[in-house]
Amino acid sequence: MKPNRFQYISAQTVPEALSLLNTHQSDVKIIAGGQSLMPMLNFRVVNPQYLIDIGRILELDHISQKDGQIEIGAITPYVKIENSALIQQHLPIVPEVIRHIAHLTIRNRGTIGGSLSHADPASEMPMLMRLLDAYFEIRSESMSYQVSAHDFFLGPLHTVLQNQELLTKILIKVPSPHMGWAFQEFARRSGDYALAAVGITVEMKQQSGKKMIDQLKIAMMGVGDTPLRLSSIEVLMNGQEFSADLLDQAKDKIFKELDPRGDLQSSAEFKKHLASNIFTRVMSDAWERANSYQIGSARL
Ligand SMILES: Cc1cc2nc3c(=O)[nH]c(=O)nc-3n(C[C@H](O)[C@H](O)[C@H](O)COP(=O)(O)OP(=O)(O)OC[C@H]3O[C@@H](n4cnc5c(N)ncnc54)[C@H](O)[C@@H]3O)c2cc1C
C-alpha cells in the first residue's frame, strides 16, 4: 500500500519544527529516520495531513560530554552512536546493544529519538535507557522539561510526548569505570525483533574480604508493555555475596513475578522461561566483568 496524501515540510531548525508542530498539532507527525513511521504510513495506520521532517536539523545530531553527562541529540543515528569513541569509552554496553538492532541499513537511518518516541516494547533502546537511568529533554514552543526514562514510557507505542512536543536530547550520567555490564537477547533470526532481552549493570564492592554485589540494575524488554526495571530483584541481590544459590533464587523470583502477554511469536509462559534463563547468563557475565576491573585488568 501507499500512504494517504500528506504535505511534507523539512524543518531546518528546532524553533521552526516546534512552530510547525504547534500550528498543526491535531494533524501532524514528525519523521526522523522513517524506519518505523514509513511502514505505518504505508499501511495507513497513521494518516497525518502534515509530515515534519526533522532529519536535517543539525543541532539535534550530536554526541557530547558535559557536566558528568553524555548528551545525545535525538536524530543521532544508531551507527553514529555505535561508532562514537566517547560512547565506546564510557558506555560500552550501548554499542553492544545497538549491534542487536535490526540490520545495518536500518541502523544507518534509524535514530535514537525515533526509537524512544516510537516506544515499541520489543525495542532495545527504550530498555537500555531505563537500565542507564537516562533523562530525556522534551521541548514545545511554550516550554522545555526533562523526564526520566522511568516516567517516559506509558504503554506499547505510547509515551508522555504530546503532539506539539519534540524529543530533543538524551542525557546519560557517565557511569563508574568499574561498572560491569552485559546484554543478551533471544530472536528467532539475526536482525529480527527479539522475543526477550536482558541488560544488567553491576559493581563489585569489597567488604571484610568478601565480594559484594553493588549498584545492581536489571532491565528487560519483550516481557511487558513497556521496558521493565526489576527493582525487587535488585533489592534481593544488592549488598549480597554473589553465589549460585542467590542466582537461582533471583531466577525463580523473576519467573514468578513476570507477567508478559503471549503473542503470535511465543506464549507468555515461554517468554517467562526465556527471560529468567537469559537473566542468569547476563548476571554471570556482568558480575565477571565487574570483578575483572577490581583485579586491575583493562575494561573488557
Ligand atoms: C525491518 C525492520 C526491523 C527492525 N528491527 C528492529 C529491532 O530489532 N529493534 C528495534 O529496536 N527496532 C527495530 N526496527 C525499528 C527501528 O529501530 C526504527 O529506526 C526506530 O524504531 C525508529 O527510529 P526512526 O528514526 O526511524 O523514527 P521514525 O520512523 O521516523 O519515527 C518513529 C516515531 O517516532 C516519532 N518521532 C521520531 N523522532 C521524534 C522526536 N525527536 N520527537 C518526537 N517524536 C519523534 C515519529 O513521529 C514516529 O511516530 C526495525 C525496523 C525495520 C523496518
75 inside domain: yes
Pocket flag, ligand 1, residue 92 (CB < 6 Å): no
CATH of the domain at 109: 3.30.465.10
Pocket flag, ligand 1, residue 101 (CB < 6 Å): yes
Please identify, by atom number, the ligand 1 atom nearest to the C-alpha of residue 30. 47
Residue where a domain stops, chosen among 123, 155, 173: 173
Q: If you take atom 14 of ligand 1, which residue's CA is the nearest one?
A: 102
Do residues 210 and 188 share a domain?
yes
| Distance from C-alpha of 68 to C-alpha of 76, rounded to nearest angstrom | 20
- Asked whether the beta carbons of 47 and 125 are under 8 A apart, the reply is no
Write out the three cell numbers for 278.
Answer: 537469559
Q: CB neighbours (10 Å) of residue 256?
A: 10
Residue where a domain stops, chosen among 126, 157, 173: 173
**pLDDT score at 271:** 96
2 inside domain: no
Stretches in the chain below the pLDDT threshold 70: 294-300
17 inside domain: yes
Q: What residues make up the domain containing 142?
A: 62-173
Pocket flag, ligand 1, residue 74 (CB < 6 Å): yes
Do residues 100 and 159 share a domain?
yes
State the residue for C-alpha cell 516516567.
Answer: 151
**pLDDT score at 295:** 57
Q: If you take atom 52 of ligand 1, which residue's CA is the nearest one?
A: 35
Please identify, by atom number, the ligand 1 atom nearest to the C-alpha of residue 165. 43
Taking the centre of ligand 1 as the mean of its atom positions, its distance from the CA of residue 201, in whole angstroms, is: 25
Pocket flag, ligand 1, residue 34 (CB < 6 Å): yes
Taking the centre of ligand 1 as the mean of its atom positions, its distance from the CA of residue 35, in whole angstroms, is: 5
| Distance from C-alpha of 57 to C-alpha of 17, rounded to nearest angstrom | 9
150 inside domain: yes
Q: CB neighbours (10 Å) of residue 223?
A: 25
**pLDDT score at 300:** 47
Pocket flag, ligand 1, residue 70 (CB < 6 Å): no
**pLDDT score at 1:** 79
70 inside domain: yes
103 inside domain: yes
| Distance from C-alpha of 70 to C-alpha of 87, rounded to nearest angstrom | 8
Do residues 48 and 69 share a domain?
no
CATH of the domain at 44: 3.30.43.10
SS3 state at 45: coil
Do residues 18 and 44 share a domain?
yes
What is the CA 164 to chain-centroid distance, rounded? 23
Exposure string for 241-253, b = 16+ CB within 10 A, e = fewer: ebeeeebeebbeb
What global pTM score does this model have?
A: 0.96
Taking the centre of ligand 1 as the mean of its atom positions, its distance from the CA of residue 109, in whole angstroms, is: 9
Do residues 69 and 25 share a domain?
no
- Asked whether the beta carbons of 160 and 154 are under 8 A apart, the reply is yes
Pocket flag, ligand 1, residue 36 (CB < 6 Å): yes
- Asked whether the CA dihedral 243, 194, 118, 125 is positive or negative, the reply is positive
Q: If you take atom 27 of ligand 1, which residue's CA is the nearest one?
A: 114
C-alpha to C-alpha distances, 52 to 39, 46, 72, 111, 299, nearest whole angstrom: 16, 14, 21, 15, 42
Residue where a domain stops, chosen among 141, 173, 205: 173
R_g of the chain computed on alpha carbons: 20
Domain count, the chain: 3
139 inside domain: yes
Do residues 75 and 124 share a domain?
yes
| Distance from C-alpha of 55 to C-alpha of 75, rounded to nearest angstrom | 6
Helix, strand and coil content of the chain, in percent to the nearest 5, comes to 35, 25, 35
Q: If you take atom 41 of ligand 1, which residue's CA is the nearest one?
A: 167
SS3 sequence of 167-179: EEEEEEECCCCCC
